[in-house]
């Protein structure tokens, strides 16, 4: 039945779960046929997002499976074909996506990012990081994805705090509409909120950006800001609240103008509401 379903599969994301099922059930009698079909499908696949969606399952097979060495090497050979093609094509595939598409790709991107670094292959790591680097600057890529890629690079220490702060300052600058900046910020802050707690320079950039928003822009961005802060853990929000209540002098200064007392108080109230 699995071989029949594999033969009927029309896309790589449909096929990889079947290969996983055979692995978990130790169906050695159909394994060779499934791997053959996997190789054929990978070779014929042109949709980069099919590679992206299928990558975690392929990595799981070679890492956690009880396959024989020869079978594992066969799947590794598929991965060695898939990863370079994915990394080459991913940035341009992400150009001109609508928001709904970008968010779907974001989920696949996170899973693929985790999967790539489960592989003990520096060439694949490097190719993936290069693809993310291109994503951060390529014109036409959704700001949500650009911000997310910047965060993934920062968390892997591929880029420095200085570079990330510079990129964040540009993304939140008046050169962009507040809605665009808000989407970049949401992408960047998708992970643990500790990044704002441990790196005051990034907190200050966020602080100043929110303070500079006019009333209309702030009202329009409230859903994005609430969604962004809502996924932080209670402990992270508590630490952020402590930072909000801290005197401004406790935050390292930046070249930007200091906030006046009225705006600072209003900003503190806003952040308190978002974090509450």
Structure confidence at residue 43 (pLDDT): 95
Which backbone phi and psi does 141 adopt, to 5 degrees?
Answer: -75, 135
Q: Consecutive sets of 10 residues in the chain, 276 residues long: mean pLDDT of each?
A: 89 93 82 91 97 96 71 88 98 95 96 97 98 97 97 97 97 94 96 92 91 89 90 90 71 49 61 74
Do residues 37 and 30 touch, judged by C-beta distance below 8 A?
A: no
* Three-class DSSP category at 257: coil
Round to whole Å and give the CA distance between 204 and 208.
Answer: 6
The stretches of 117-214 forming alpha helices (DSSP H) are 122-137, 143-155, 161-171, 178-188, 194-198, 200-212
Structure confidence at residue 215 (pLDDT): 87
Round to whole Å and give the CA distance between 164 and 141.
Answer: 18
Name the residue with tokens 């303070």: 211
Structure confidence at residue 255 (pLDDT): 47
Can you read off the two tokens belonging to residue 39?
Answer: 């190789």
Structure confidence at residue 26 (pLDDT): 78
Whole-prediction pTM value?
0.89
What's the CA dihedral at 173, 179, 183, 188 to 10 degrees? 30
Structure confidence at residue 270 (pLDDT): 75
For 10, other C-beta atoms within 10 Å of its C-beta total: 8
């Amino acid at each position: 039945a699995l071989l029949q379903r594999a033969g009927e599969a029309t896309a790589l994301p449909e096929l990889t779960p079947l290969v996983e099922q055979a692995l978990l059930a130790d169906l050695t009698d159909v394994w060779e046929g499934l791997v053959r079909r996997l190789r054929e499908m990978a070779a014929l696949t042109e949709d980069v997002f099919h590679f992206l969606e299928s990558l975690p399952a392929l990595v799981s097979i070679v890492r956690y499976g009880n396959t024989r060495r020869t079978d594992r090497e066969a799947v590794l050979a598929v991965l060695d074909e898939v990863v370079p093609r994915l990394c080459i094509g991913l940035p341009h595939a992400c150009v001109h996506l609508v928001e709904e598409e970008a968010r779907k790709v974001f989920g696949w991107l996170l899973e693929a990012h985790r999967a790539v670094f489960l592989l003990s292959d520096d060439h694949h790591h490097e190719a993936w990081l290069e693809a993310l680097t291109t994503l951060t600057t390529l014109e036409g890529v959704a700001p949500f994805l650009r911000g997310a890629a910047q965060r993934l690079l920062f968390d892997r220490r591929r880029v420095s705090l200085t570079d990330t702060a510079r990129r964040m300052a540009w993304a939140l600058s008046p050169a962009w509409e507040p809605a665009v900046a808000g989407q970049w910020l949401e992408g960047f802050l998708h992970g643990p909120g500790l990044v704002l707690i441990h790196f005051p320079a990034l907190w200050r950039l966020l602080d100043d950006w929110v303070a500079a928003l006019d009333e209309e822009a702030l009202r329009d961005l409230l859903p994005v800001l609430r969604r962004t802060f809502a996924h932080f853990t209670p402990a992270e929000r508590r630490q952020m609240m402590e930072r909000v209540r801290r005197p401004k002098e406790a935050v390292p200064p930046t070249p930007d103008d200091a906030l006046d007392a009225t705006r600072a108080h209003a900003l503190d109230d806003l952040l308190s509401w978002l974090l509450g």
